[in-house]
C-alpha cells in the first residue's frame, strides 16, 4: 500500500525553507538569492517517491520588517516550487507566516502569532487543509523553533544542521 493514500490519512513531511531547502542568506526574496541546498531536489523527490506529501512551513518576518512585500514572498516561494518541480520534486503547498512582534508594518504586527514557529499553526492548518494524519508526519528544520513547532503539533522533529539534505533524509530512513 502506498504511504500517502493509506486509509489512516495522508503521510507528510513538513520542511522549513531557509537553511533546509535553500541556503539562508538573510531574508532571501529575490531570484538571485535562490540557492538550493545540496541534495534538496533529490530529498524532496525521494520523499515523494516514498509516498509523502511535502509541505513547506516557513517564518518570513522580512515582510513584517519591511524588507520585502507579501507579494514578493509569495513569488519567491512559487519560484522555489517551480525550480524543484523542474527536477521532479513536488511541493504540495507552502505555508508562510509574515507576522512578527517587531514588525515595522503594523499590519503584520502580532505579539505571538499562532502560525509563527515555534507555534504549530502552519502545521495544523496544513494538516486540516490536506487531510494529513499527524501520526504519519514529521518535520525537518534547522532551528530549535522548527523542532518546537513539531513537538507542539504532536509530530517528530528532526534538526538539519546543513550539508546534503538528501543524505540527511536517507539517514533518517536508514538507507
Please list the active-site residues: 16, 18
Give the phi and the psi of residue 40 in degrees, each rounded to 5.
Answer: -60, -50
Cα–Cα distance between 14 and 36 in angstroms, integer? Answer: 17
The answer to whether 149 and 120 are in contact (CB under 8 A) is: yes
Query: Is the sign of the CA dihedral 132, 52, 135, 147 positive or negative?
Result: negative
Angle between helices 40-49 and 70-85 (to 10 degrees): 70
Q: Strands (DSSP E) along 28-120, which ranges?
A: 53-59, 93-97
The answer to whether 67 and 27 are in contact (CB under 8 A) is: yes
CB atoms within 10 A of CB 163: 11
Cα–Cα distance between 15 and 97 in angstroms, integer? Answer: 14
Amino acid at each position: 500500500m502506498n504511504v500517502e493514500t493509506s486509509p489512516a490519512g495522508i503521510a507528510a513531511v513538513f520542511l522549513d525553507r531557509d537553511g533546509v531547502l535553500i541556503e539562508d542568506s538573510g531574508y532571501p526574496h529575490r531570484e538571485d538569492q535562490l540557492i538550493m541546498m545540496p541534495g534538496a531536489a533529490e530529498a524532496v523527490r525521494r520523499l515523494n517517491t516514498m509516498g509523502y506529501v511535502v509541505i513547506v512551513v516557513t517564518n518570513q518576518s522580512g515582510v513584517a520588517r519591511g524588507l520585502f512585500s507579501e507579494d514578493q514572498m509569495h513569488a519567491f516561494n512559487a519560484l522555489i516550487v517551480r525550480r524543484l518541480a523542474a527536477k521532479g520534486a513536488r511541493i504540495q503547498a507552502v505555508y508562510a507566516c509574515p507576522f512578527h512582534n517587531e514588525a515595522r508594518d503594523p499590519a503584520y504586527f502580532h505579539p505571538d502569532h499562532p502560525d509563527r514557529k515555534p507555534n504549530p499553526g502552519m502545521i495544523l492548518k496544513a494538516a486540516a487543509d490536506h487531510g494529513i494524519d499527524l501520526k504519519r508526519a514529521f518535520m525537518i528544520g534547522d532551528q530549535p523553533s522548527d523542532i518546537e513547532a513539531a513537538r507542539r503539533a504532536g509530530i517528530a522533529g528532526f534538526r538539519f544542521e546543513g550539508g546534503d539534505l538528501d543524505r540527511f533524509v536517507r539517514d533518517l530512513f536508514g538507507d
